A = this chain, B = another copy of it.
Amino acid sequence: MYGLTEFLKSNSRSIPKQIATKCEGREHNWSQFEDRVSKLASALKKLGIQDGERAAILALNSDRYLEYYYAVWWAGGAVVPLNVRWSVGENAYSLNDSGAKVLFIDKAFASMIDPLQRDIEGLETIIFMDDDAPDGVIQYEELIASHQRCPDAERSGRDLAGLYYTGGTTGFPKGVMLSHEAIWYNCMAGSGLFDFGADDTYLHAAPMFHLADGGLSGTATANGLCHVFVPAFEPVAVMNALAEYQVTHAVLVPTMWDMIINHPDFDKNSFRTVQSAMYGASPMPEGLLRQILEQLPNVALVQGYGQTEMAPVITALAAGYHSKKGMEDGLLASAGRAVLGAEVRICDEDGNDLPNGEVGEIVARSPGSMLGYWGMPEATAATLNDGWVKTGDGAYRDDKGFIFIVDRMKDMIVTGGENVFSSEVENVISTHPDVAAVAVIGIPSKQWGEEVHAIIIPAEGKEPTLEEITAHLEDRVANYKRPRSMTLRDDPFPLSGAGKVLKRELRAPFWDGQDRQVS
């Protein structure tokens, strides 16, 4: 029970002839998909991948990425999906740290094969996921063709399913250990947020290494959806894929939404078959959200909030609240309510529950809670206690159970002794018509310690002034939260692999040579 291969076997049993994956002209039904997975698993077992041994992957989105996940689980191993934005050094770190014996890699990362092969001692086998494998590297399709099916290892429950590296923006990545049960639970919880039909199709638009996609990907498999793919996010490619494959469900992070909705070739008709789409992984500026709702009134939007340590979903704002009434009730600024089976506490620094309305740290527990950080007992003990995960996110809860996230604790700006949560200010600025995107950071101030600074990407042909922005904020946020200075910027914001704005990089030029003290 709670084994991730159960979903696959169920599909192969109940809907064997329905299409499982469509990618670059390849098409496999669930029976064929299981067959390929089982043969690839045979090969992996020979390569030592069983009993929780790790097989990593560094690749763009494709049907083979999905096969990789299930083949590793079928063999009894654990997946290690690597961040596609990482440098060779970061990849090498995670491969070494995880002790992966096998690495799947595709042609987009071919140039990394040599250095990785050279630097990583434990890495015994590299599997090349495209044609024309370089010397010394095994070709993916040949591996499948040369092996027979094997029985499912039937790993389940608290067995290790994968190491999901996180925290790359704040130092060394940590390998979050997720069990079969944790991801299984996420598939259940995610499923409760959507209405899936027998002929639905899921588009992998966000990178498959990340749980923003990985979470709903499992839900899609569990519900027997057809999986389709874009190799990497690009607004026009996504719109084309939505239309070509008659996609019904997708996940897009806020920056992706921004790039689509504000693209000169934005075509709402490409969303014609899309019933439901999830957003999450970073704060959604309310102005952008209203824009999406206006442009795509027939798409049921669902917000997911979570983190890798929770596999990942913790709360969700259901589609029903993305409505006129939801707006009036102020719920668009909320991350929604705890998903079923997740317990959410709002705690003070000593771990005591705070009453509704007070801001504290979100501490969550569910069957999705991580097993811990790989090889880091101290970091684990600091974060995980009896299944309860300290998220590091600051939030309050209203009396109907809606959670309002005010910011990452560590991103908080402290100005003149007052706490300012960036996302609150960003939300309001984003509703100004001349603003395309905004990031609010703290910059050094002799007088206040930090002062609030806004970096704004203006809307096409606009040039908002600090006075205009400040006037817009009047009556909306307290004076101390309003930016004291402002930068206009044309380039897009630097993003992490998960699509989060890299605030650290935005702050760097202001803080050059100075310590930023946040307490």
A32 to chain B, nearest CB (A): 15
- Say whether A1 contacts B367, CB under 8 Å: yes
Contact of A341 among B188, B365, B402 (CB under 8 A): B188
- Say whether A397 contacts B14, CB under 8 Å: yes
Q: Is A345 positioned at the interface, with any CB of B under 8 Å from its CB?
A: yes
B residues less than 8 Å from A6 (CB atoms): 341, 343
A355 closest partner in B (C-beta): B16
Q: Assuming A197-B320, A367-B2, is B188 touching A224 (CB within 8 A)?
A: no
Q: Is A289 positioned at the interface, with any CB of B under 8 Å from its CB?
A: no
Q: Is A387 positioned at the interface, with any CB of B under 8 Å from its CB?
A: yes
B residues less than 8 Å from A135 (CB atoms): none
Cα–Cα distance between A192 and B341 once the two chains are bound (Å): 12
Cα–Cα distance between A413 and B289 once the two chains are bound (Å): 54
- Say whether A195 contacts B17, CB under 8 Å: no
The 8 A CB mask of A11-24 against B (1 = contact, 0 = none) is 00111111000000
Q: Is A9 positioned at the interface, with any CB of B under 8 Å from its CB?
A: yes
B residues less than 8 Å from A222 (CB atoms): 340-341
Copies of this chain, count:
2
B residues less than 8 Å from A187 (CB atoms): 340-341
- Say whether B15 contacts A340, CB under 8 Å: no
Cα–Cα distance between A269 and B221 once the two chains are bound (Å): 40
The 8 A CB mask of A377-403 against B (1 = contact, 0 = none) is 000000000010000000001011110
Q: Assuming A1-B367, A197-B320, A198-B337, is B401 touching A343 (CB within 8 A)?
A: no
A194 closest partner in B (C-beta): B192
Q: Assuming A1-B367, A344-B14, A387-B1, is B198 touching A400 (CB within 8 A)?
A: yes
Q: Is A35 positioned at the interface, with any CB of B under 8 Å from its CB?
A: no
A340 closest partner in B (C-beta): B191
Q: Which of A192, A319, A337, A399 has the most CB of B within 10 A?
A: A192
- Say whether B13 contacts A345, CB under 8 Å: yes
| Size class of the contact patch on chain A | 35 or more
The 8 A CB mask of A210-231 against B (1 = contact, 0 = none) is 0000000000001110000000
Q: Is A338 positioned at the interface, with any CB of B under 8 Å from its CB?
A: yes
Q: Is A356 positioned at the interface, with any CB of B under 8 Å from its CB?
A: yes
- Say whether A18 contacts B399, CB under 8 Å: yes
- Say whether B188 contacts A223, CB under 8 Å: no
A194 to chain B, nearest CB (A): 9
Interface residues of A in 31-62 (CB under 8 A from B): none
Q: Is A10 positioned at the interface, with any CB of B under 8 Å from its CB?
A: yes
Contact of A17 among B189, B319, B399 (CB under 8 A): B399
B residues less than 8 Å from A369 (CB atoms): 1
- Say whether B18 contacts A400, CB under 8 Å: yes
B residues less than 8 Å from A14 (CB atoms): 337-338, 344, 356, 397, 401
Q: Is A318 positioned at the interface, with any CB of B under 8 Å from its CB?
A: yes
- Say whether B353 contacts A13, CB under 8 Å: yes
- Say whether B192 contacts A318, CB under 8 Å: no
Q: Is A493 positioned at the interface, with any CB of B under 8 Å from its CB?
A: no
Q: Assuming A9-B343, A340-B187, is B15 touching A401 (CB within 8 A)?
A: yes
Q: Is A279 positioned at the interface, with any CB of B under 8 Å from its CB?
A: no
Q: Which of A224, A341, A344 has the most CB of B within 10 A?
A: A341
Residues of A within 8 A of B (CB): 1-2, 6, 9-10, 13-18, 184, 187-189, 191-192, 195, 197-199, 222-224, 318-320, 337-338, 340-341, 343-345, 353, 356, 365-367, 369, 387, 397, 399-402
Further 15 A-B residue pairs, CB within 8 A, beyond A15-B399, A15-B400: A1-B365, A1-B366, A1-B387, A10-B343, A14-B344, A14-B397, A15-B401, A18-B401, A188-B188, A191-B340, A192-B192, A197-B318, A197-B320, A198-B402, A224-B337
List 27 A–B pairs whose Cβ atoms lie within 8 Å, in order of A's numbering: A1-B369, A2-B367, A6-B341, A10-B338, A13-B343, A14-B344, A14-B356, A14-B397, A15-B400, A16-B356, A17-B399, A18-B399, A18-B401, A184-B341, A187-B340, A187-B341, A191-B340, A195-B318, A195-B319, A195-B320, A198-B400, A198-B401, A199-B400, A222-B340, A222-B341, A223-B340, A224-B337
